[in-house]
Structure 1
Amino acid sequence: MSVTSRSHAENDYDAFAEAYAAENETSLINAYYTRPAILDLAGDVSGRRILDAGCGAGPLFQALRDRGADMTGFDLSAKMVELARKRLGDDAALRVADIGKPLPFPDDEFDDVVAALVLHYLEDWAAPLAELRRVLKPGGRLILAVNHPIIFKLVHPEADYFATVKWSDEYSFNGQTTELTYWHRPLHAMTDAFTAAGFRTSVVSEPHPAPGARERFPEELAGKTAFLCFLFFVLEAA
């Protein structure tokens, strides 16, 4: 779940890979929200060939593999791939690759692609979505999570929601502070990009946290049934 295309030192996951991976294991946002939501959307994956695009340190790869999927993963961060290999074993199909460039996989190779918290780092979605469509079998699924577009407007109420805008925010991962830079785009720009790349949108989801989240994070979830954070899609390769 780390960025798979970047420029210069922006979003350099190599610099904070270990801290991010450690935080990712138990955090509300990752362990009790993003991964459970992706797994729910994926459903029964036994025997399906799945590509984890932006696999990070491999927790989603492992969870899908444990459910019987035949997994392949890539990330731009060499350090993240190193951590994923330690987690998943030397025989895991992992490599360093950039979602913003041609991917090192044949056409029609996968039944599903998961891209959790990847695309919102990219200004251009056309080339990455075209590559993900290329490596999917006809009828295959792209399951993805991105920043909910309302978040940018909540953080910057004076901003133009309908513009595609670069913005940054500061985060602390396991005690290490870093800045992440995103590209906001309105919802219609997302769905237009999906259609242009040859996808049909079958699910749009704003999920609740997973069971156990309320007990583990009582302060963060006090008075809430759900919260605005990421937006989840299931797209079908037309």
Structure 2
Amino acid sequence: MTAYDTIAEGYAALNATSLLNEYYNRPALAELAGDVAGRRVLDVGCGSGPILADLRDRGAIVTGVDSSAGMLDQARARLGSDIDLRVADLAEPLPFEDDTFDDVIASQVLHYLKDWGPSLAEIHRILKPGGRLIVSEEHPSAIFFSDRLSGGDREYFGIHERTEEWTLGDQTATLTFWDRPLHAMTDAFAAAGFRISAISEPAPAPEAFDRFPEIRKHESGRFLAFILFVLEAR
């Protein structure tokens, strides 16, 4: 059982309505993905399936994997039983043939890995030549400034372990993340054979300001939360 099995139902409900997920990360991913009609797309770490739902609604042929069977149960409840969902750990070989997918989405999942190299190599293997890996990660500067504001003294450079305890409803899970600076991310992408074609530091979707009026205090409508990449498999 994974940590997310414990909090699957509560996390799925939170993910569906939160500012950072529903109104920030997912709209930014959709914009970067562009026209996906007819493309075969894999979502690694798909969780309860909201990104898969977005992609399917836009005509993509979607597959999802996640290490949590509980989260995949939530995805099936959302998407129906006819979608290809599989339990798989991104830290292990993926259950797909070479050159299978046009696109792979890795949204808020790589930060669970201390070493990105083997997982990026697996993603490169299952992508068609010229296929895209679209990555969303917590912005390293946002993590650094949050640590400093809370009284921490961790340096920006290097790869650092971070542990958090999440309580959703009456369930609690301990999650471990591995934070890294921007250059460590881009070095890992290059070493795995990817070319960066876009980097985005997005703003929330326009409707976020009606749903969460408190964010209007940011005059530009932007604040640091995520950084997104579009990477091309060379």
- State the TM-score, normalized to the length of structure 1: 0.92
Specify the SS of the correspondent of 2:196.
Answer: strand
Specify the SS of the correspondent of 1:114.
Answer: strand
Contact 1:23 1:174 in 2 (8 A): no
Change (3 A) 1:34 1:174: farther
Is 1:183–2:178 an aligned residue pair? yes
Q: Which runs of 5+ in 1 are unaligned?
A: 1-8
Q: Which amino acid aligns with 2:233?
A: A
CA shift, 1:205, in A, is 0.5
Question: What CA distance in whole angstroms lies between the structure 2 residues aligned with 1:38 and 1:132?
Answer: 18
Change (3 A) 1:175 1:228: farther
Specify the SS of the correspondent of 1:202.
Answer: strand
Residue among 126, 137, 142 paired with 2:117: 126
Tell me whether 59-68 or 11-20 shows the greater mean CA deviation: 11-20
Which structure features the higher share of helix residues? 2
Alignment match, 2:75: 84
Q: Which amino acid aligns with 1:70?
A: I
Alignment match, 1:68: 59
Alignment match, 1:115: 106
Question: What CA distance in whole angstroms lies between the structure 1 residues aligned with 2:144 and 2:62?
Answer: 36
Contact 2:3 2:173 in 1 (8 A): no
Is 1:150–2:141 an aligned residue pair? yes
Residue among 214, 226, 230 paired with 1:230: 226
Matched pairs, number: 229
Specify the SS of the correspondent of 2:53.
Answer: helix
Question: What CA distance in whole angstroms lies between the structure 1 residues aligned with 2:36 and 2:135?
Answer: 16
Is 1:203–2:198 an aligned residue pair? yes
Alignment match, 1:192: 187
CA RMSD, Structure 1 to Structure 2 (Å)? 1.6
Identity of aligned residues (%): 57
Contact 2:104 2:132 in 1 (8 A): yes
Is 1:55–2:51 an aligned residue pair? no
Question: What CA distance in whole angstroms lies between the structure 1 residues aligned with 2:215 and 2:145?
Answer: 17
Is 1:95–2:65 an aligned residue pair? no
Tell me whether 22-31 or 180-189 shows the greater mean CA deviation: 180-189
CA shift, 1:201, in A, is 0.6
